[in-house]
Amino acid sequence: MRIPLSAPDITDAEIAAVTQVLRSGRLSLGPQLDAFESAIAQYTGAQHAVGVSSGTAGLHLAIRALGLKEGDEVILPSFTFIAAANVLLYERITPVFADVEAATLNLDPSLVESAITPRTRALLVVHTFGTPAPLDELRAIAHRHNLLLLEDACEALGAEYSGRKVGSLADAGVFAFYPNKQITTAEGGVFVTQNESLAARVRSLRNHGRTESADWLQHVELGYNYRLSELHAALGVAQMRRIDAILARREKIARGYTERLSGTAGVTLPPLDLPNRRISWFVYVVRLAEKYSQEDRDRIVKQMASQGIGVGRYFAPIHLQPQYRRLNHSPLPVTEAVGARTIALPFFNQITEAQLDEVAETLRTLL
């Protein structure tokens, strides 16, 4: 693509950091991992941060460490990346999908409570596209029903709710650093919590069930190879040094799209500002009006691609995916309507003003 959907922002500082690790001879479970975990903990306000191999791995370990098990139910949105539901099926936990708010595309608190059953154990809250979910209402529901609260902040590093960074505002939270995220470790994620024993268990689970005090070949429980290498961690440390500038740049790009597309008939733009929340811009997603069908949306996506402009259909609802159609679901009208009409526009730090102009004009022309 001439204008890709996303692209990592890698500078000479990141390249030097990774090269230094390669020369050090220490490639796993070393000082760079400690430094990256400390940087994330300090930035988010979490007491503990545990680096893992991906955001999916972090969510999986969170589910295990929180004690969720076969037969339990977890309420989550269907309008999100499929990993949030997959980690539940890994543990034979039943995902229960609730609909989202039309404005923010986050879980609708007014619909969550009606989805609770005697088997419900937790709420898995996703900060969709970097927009903080309504945590006060969701936390109140969790408290009222004695439920665990888990934040999927994989798209939301740096987002704030009531002046505090998301991810550290529940029983546990998870961030992800795939190359399309605000910062990247190439592959990787971080689990965060205020609970020391929970963090210790995740550290053990990520490393084949070992404990820090045990012999290398002694394993206290069934674990996984979900470690984050020194190479990935070093990249993350270097990226975190630029986090404020990166987030400011991404906000400028989002505002640039809004300036260019405001007044375009047939398109709903994402909100730029919300009360008591700071958005951390992961992607810029527009929604076509109801007069457009899913086929119209898909045709526009293909036409833009044919012109060298990478766009995406974020998100295809999980409950409509083949693996999940077999489950019984309540109606999700907002999720289905939005999922059929969303278009994620090219969004990356180095995108130019001329490219923003071209993307906006091409979309208007095709509409």
Q: How far is CA 316 from CA 13, 77, 239, 336, 341, in A?
A: 36, 12, 30, 9, 10
Q: Provide the pLDDT for residue 328.
A: 83
pTM beyond 0.85, yes or no: yes
Beta partners for residue 104, in sequence order: none
Which secondary-structure segment (H or E) carries 49? strand 48-52
Residues near 40 by Cβ (< 8 Å), separated by ≥ 6? Answer: 46, 49, 51, 175, 190, 192, 236, 240
Question: Each residue of 213-226: pLDDT tens digit?
Answer: 778 888 989 999 99
Beta partners for residue 150, in sequence order: 124, 172
Domain 12-240 = CATH 3.40.640.10: yes
Which secondary-structure segment (H or E) carries 256? helix 243-261
Q: How far is CA 54 from CA 58, 96, 134, 192, 293, in A?
A: 6, 24, 25, 13, 35
Residue 230 near residue 27, CB atoms below 8 Å: yes
Catalytic residue among 69, 165, 181, 302: 181
Write out the chain's pLDDT in tens, 367 residues: 999 999 999 999 999 999 999 999 999 999 999 999 999 999 999 999 999 999 999 999 999 999 999 999 999 999 999 999 999 999 999 999 999 999 999 999 999 999 999 999 999 999 999 999 999 999 999 999 999 999 999 999 999 999 999 999 999 999 999 999 999 999 999 999 999 999 999 999 999 999 887 788 889 899 999 999 999 999 999 999 999 999 999 999 999 999 999 999 999 999 999 999 999 999 999 999 999 999 999 999 999 999 999 999 999 999 999 999 998 888 999 999 999 999 999 999 999 999 999 999 999 999 9
Told to judge if 181 belongs to the known catalytic residues of this protein, a careful annotator would answer yes
CATH class of the domain comprising 243-366:
alpha beta
The tokens for 94 are 């039943």
Domain boundaries defined on the chain: 12-240, 243-366
**What three-state secondary structure class fits 314?**
coil
Residue 118 near residue 105, CB atoms below 8 Å: no
